[in-house]
Amino acid sequence: MTRAWSSLVLFLILFLLETSFATSLPFPFALIPLTFSAAIFRLQHRGLSDGAVWVLAYGLLLQVLPLSASPLPALSWGAAALVSLVSARHIFSNRSLLGVVATGVAGYAAHAVLEATVGFVSSFRGGSAISLGALSEFHGTRIVLFTIMLVILFYLSRTWKRYVQT
């Protein structure tokens, strides 16, 4: 029970940091996906399935508190959670940095493709049209920053393990 509460508190802190503080930073730093990076790290490298719950909860919170510019963020982040969970459990190894990054990129790619598809379909139903150039720049920047965050988390984790074991 303590692990569930600490996981919830950590998720909420990361969500608040990302949606309030990080978005107020200048251009490239405003797109740092803190919550998604930590969720994938917990899911893939640590083997904790609450990482997938974090990704789904992230999408639900973005939809309930209208913080997303895209329609139905819970759907696209739910797809990211599902793809990440399947990738972590059955496709990629959690021992290498490549496996951790590949799991995250697969999950984020599922989110990006579904978000673009939902945005494209909603533009036919009377919504505003989306710019594919702006959307691809947005998601490309987030994938690069996400990869950098995972590399930092991966190596900090290894350093922390060595420090704690000695």
More confident residue, 67 or 142: 142
Rounded Cα–Cα distance for residues 79 and 129 (Å)? 23
Helix (H) / strand (E) containing 161: helix 132-165
Q: What pLDDT is recorded for position 74?
A: 83
What are the tens digits of pLDDT across the range 132-157? 788 888 888 989 998 998 888 888 88
Q: What per-residue confidence (pLDDT) applies to 162?
A: 66
Given CA atoms 49, 75, 109, 154 in this order, what sign does their dihedral have?
Answer: negative
Predicted confidence at residue 165, as pLDDT, reads: 58
pTM of the full structure: 0.81
Band (161; pLDDT cuts 50, 70, 90): low
DSSP letter for each residue of 82-107: HHHHHIIIIIS-SSSHHHHHHHHHHH
47 with 94: CB under 8 angstroms? Answer: yes
Q: pLDDT tens for residues 70-116?
A: 778 888 888 998 998 888 888 887 778 888 888 889 999 998 998 88
Which pLDDT tens digit goes with each residue over 121-133?
877 777 666 777 8
Identify the DSSP state of 33. Answer: -
Model confidence over 34-56: pLDDT tens digits? Answer: 888 888 888 887 777 788 888 88
Looking at residue 144, what is its pLDDT? 92
Task: Please give the pLDDT value at position 106.
Answer: 92
So what's the pLDDT on residue 164? Answer: 58
> 31, 146, 17: which is closest to 80 by C-alpha?
146
Q: Which residue has the higher pLDDT, 166 or 160?
A: 160
**pLDDT > 90: percent of the chain:** 7
Domain residue limits, the chain: 2-23+30-165
Contacts of 147 (CB under 8 A, 6+ apart): 101, 104, 105
CB 42 within 8 A of CB 54: yes
CB within 8 Å of 153: residues ≥ 6 apart: 37, 38, 41, 45
